[in-house]
Structure 1
Amino acid sequence: MIYLVVINPVSGDSNKKSLTYFLQEQAQSKGFDLEIFETTGNNDYEKLKEQVDFVMPDKLLVAGGDGTLLMAAEVVKNKEIPIGLFPLGSANGMAAELDLPSMMPNIPILDQQSFKRAWKIIEDGHSVKVDMVRINGKYSIHLADVGLNAEIVRGFDESDSRGFATYAHQFFQKYTSRKAFNYSVRTNDGRLYSGEAYMLSIANARMFGTGAIINPRGNVSDGTVELCVIKKASALSILKSAGSIITGNVEYDADQVEIISVKKASIELEPAQSFQIDGELQKPVSKVDVSILPSVVEVYCSKEFKDQA
């Protein structure tokens, strides 16, 4: 049995060495081989693909955030290699979606407890086949968007610091300077939508990494993707979204948020907008083509999530 772990050493605020030690102890006590792949930011996808093809692991473990998970998912899509996640990134939206335990970085005792909880989920073996979304020739497993949130990601990407405090600072800065744009959506079944918006999210999942719900209809295994059009970025809609972190549900007013379920769609924007995929900043876009790829990646999840899927 071979486990390959992908570690992003710069994601989040955490030191990944303690996780490496934990996994080495598990490998020794349980008798599996452990291979370690560290990202460098230089051709990581190609290098990881080569490593996976060479090692042919039985499980692929990911220590990082949504961006690292996305890269791993791209590598093993349509392969019988399940992914186990240690959510140690700045953004951990898919971990929240899959009901995985949050990590407590850089506090030794809590570190070990967090690792044990995540490891137990992998050992228990409950998993789901997750959809991916193809967007302008690239892939998403969680959330992509244009407009306000992509501007927040841009500010975060350009900042020298990481972590939730930096994200919160960027949120308030970009929210107060937000600008609307024009959009039009044409779906594969001929539906047409158009108007003015502050943000348009391409949502495979329900929630952001913070736990705030953007897509109440979201289901990562249902073979559809939702286009969530934020028509009015009002204080009320922000408060509703923030409240969903605690309540676990939200209902948006139709005049503020429109949700369009699709299998395939083409989106046009005027003017071109900032664009992010799973927390990774892309070039600004004026056109976005979207299509769903159903059930292409197996990911470990909690038993509760598995029972609801």
Structure 2
Amino acid sequence: MEQKNILFVINPISGGKKKTAFNSKVLEVLDLKKFKPTFQQTSRAGHAYELGKMAVEEQYDAVVAVGGDGTINELGAALIGSNIPLGIIPEGSGNGLALYLGIPMNETAAIKRLNRFETAGVDCGIVNGKPFFNIAGLGFDASVSDRFANDSIRGPIGYLRSAINVISNYKPCKYELTIDGQHYEREAFMISVANSPQYGNNAYIAPNASVNDGLLDVCIVHKFPLYILPMMVFHLFNRSADQSEYVEIIPGRDILIKRVDDGPIHVDGEPIALAGNLHIQVQPNALNIIC
């Protein structure tokens, strides 16, 4: 049986986890009769995308993201339009997409899962030409992502610290939305456009979202009094955000968001600067995932 060439792309700083022993763990756990592994480490933003494109050119049989949703985003964007599937070893701060797909959080178990080499197609969202596979957002969560990206502390603790620092001064914004031709005007704390249900760490913003239904869930979190915050957090972790009177969820395929003020947005947890209006569409069955 001919070995499949598989490229592991390792983000050495994702999730604040050391990965110095990762290569040897793969050689120990991966079925080396089936697979021939190659390892590359990322060194900067955008590097995973470049390595993904290289894998397409060199016709690898699979690429594996060893990192979080940001690493998955870059590699997935590079693999769209190819037949090369993406594997995931969850090593991020939130691991939202991996949790939804049922990929083990344990490193050894996740590597073992690759041996089955079973794949499934997933949708992706496109915001102003930029793909996302989990969640894109603007407002409060984008401001938190922007601050977290510049924080020296990684992992859930760093993210929580960023959220606490941002919320004390954050003001809701006004938006105009057009979702599949329907017009809405909202003052919102934040707007998340979800392909999968959760940000990560089992915080569910869109409990009924699915990566293979050809839809995106537009989650509008309305302005709410600060004393409600503990209940909002409860809803997130109880998978009941859609039951809150302050949360409105509208599914759609073609979404236009006009905002009064420019600000950061996040794409799979990574902040990017996009000025002006946001045009978001869904691309069904855009990527194969090893799950």
TM-score higher than 0.5 here? yes
**What's the offset of the Cα at 1:156?**
0.7
Q: What SS class does the counterpart of residue 21 from structure 2 fall into?
A: helix
2:28 to 25, 28, 31: 25
Match of 1:81 in 2: 84
Distance of 1:158 and 1:61 partners within structure 2:
26
Shift of the 170–46 alpha-carbon distance from structure 1 to 2, 3 Å rule, reads closer
**What's the offset of the Cα at 1:257?**
1.0
1:292 to 272, 282, 289: 282
Map 1:103-114 onto structure 2 (within 5 A): 114=106
Match of 2:138 in 1: 146
Shift of the 243–26 alpha-carbon distance from structure 1 to 2, 3 Å rule, reads same
Between 281-290 and 131-140, report the one with greater CA deviation. 281-290
Distance of 1:193 and 1:136 partners within structure 2:
20
1:95 to 90, 94, 98: 98
Match of 1:307 in 2: none
Equivalent residue pairs, number: 287
Shift of the 42–92 alpha-carbon distance from structure 1 to 2, 3 Å rule, reads closer
**What's the offset of the Cα at 1:118?**
0.6
Shift of the 126–227 alpha-carbon distance from structure 1 to 2, 3 Å rule, reads same
Match of 1:223 in 2: 214
Match of 1:305 in 2: none
Distance of 1:70 and 1:150 partners within structure 2:
16
Map 1:242-281 onto structure 2 (within 5 A): 242-245=234-237, 247-254=238-245, 256-281=246-271
Output the amino acid matched with 1:138. Answer: K
1:228·1:258 contact (CA, 8 Å) conserved in 2? yes
Match of 1:107 in 2: none
| Gaps in structure 2 of 5+ consecutive residues | none
**What's the offset of the Cα at 1:143?**
0.7
Identity %: 25
Q: Deviations over 1:18-65 (max 9, x none)?
A: 221111234574352211121111652563144213431212111000
2:218·2:249 contact (CA, 8 Å) conserved in 1? yes
**What's the offset of the Cα at 1:300?**
2.4
Name the TM-score, length of structure 2 as normaliser: 0.91
2:53·2:79 contact (CA, 8 Å) conserved in 1? no
1:27·1:33 contact (CA, 8 Å) conserved in 2? no
Between 150-159 and 22-31, report the one with greater CA deviation. 22-31
Q: What SS class does the counterpart of residue 12 from structure 1 fall into?
A: helix
Q: What SS class does the counterpart of residue 286 from structure 1 fall into?
A: coil
**What's the offset of the Cα at 1:180?**
0.9
Q: Deviations over 1:67-112 (max 9, x none)?
A: 100111111113222211111112311111112222xxxxxxxxxx
**CA RMSD after TM alignment:** 2.0
| Gaps in structure 1 of 5+ consecutive residues | 103-113, 302-309
Output the amino acid matched with 2:18. Answer: N
**What's the offset of the Cα at 1:248?**
4.4
Match of 2:13 in 1: 10
**What's the offset of the Cα at 1:295?**
0.4
**What's the offset of the Cα at 1:279?**
1.4
Output the amino acid matched with 2:264. Answer: S
Q: What SS class does the counterpart of residue 124 from structure 1 fall into?
A: coil
Distance of 1:274 and 1:31 partners within structure 2:
44
1:275·1:285 contact (CA, 8 Å) conserved in 2? no
Match of 1:304 in 2: none
2:178·2:184 contact (CA, 8 Å) conserved in 1? yes
Q: Deviations over 1:149-171 (max 9, x none)?
A: 01111111121221111111111
**What's the offset of the Cα at 1:249?**
4.6
Distance of 1:36 and 1:200 partners within structure 2:
37
2:56·2:79 contact (CA, 8 Å) conserved in 1? no
Shift of the 253–42 alpha-carbon distance from structure 1 to 2, 3 Å rule, reads closer
**What's the offset of the Cα at 1:278?**
0.8
Name the TM-score, length of structure 1 as normaliser: 0.86
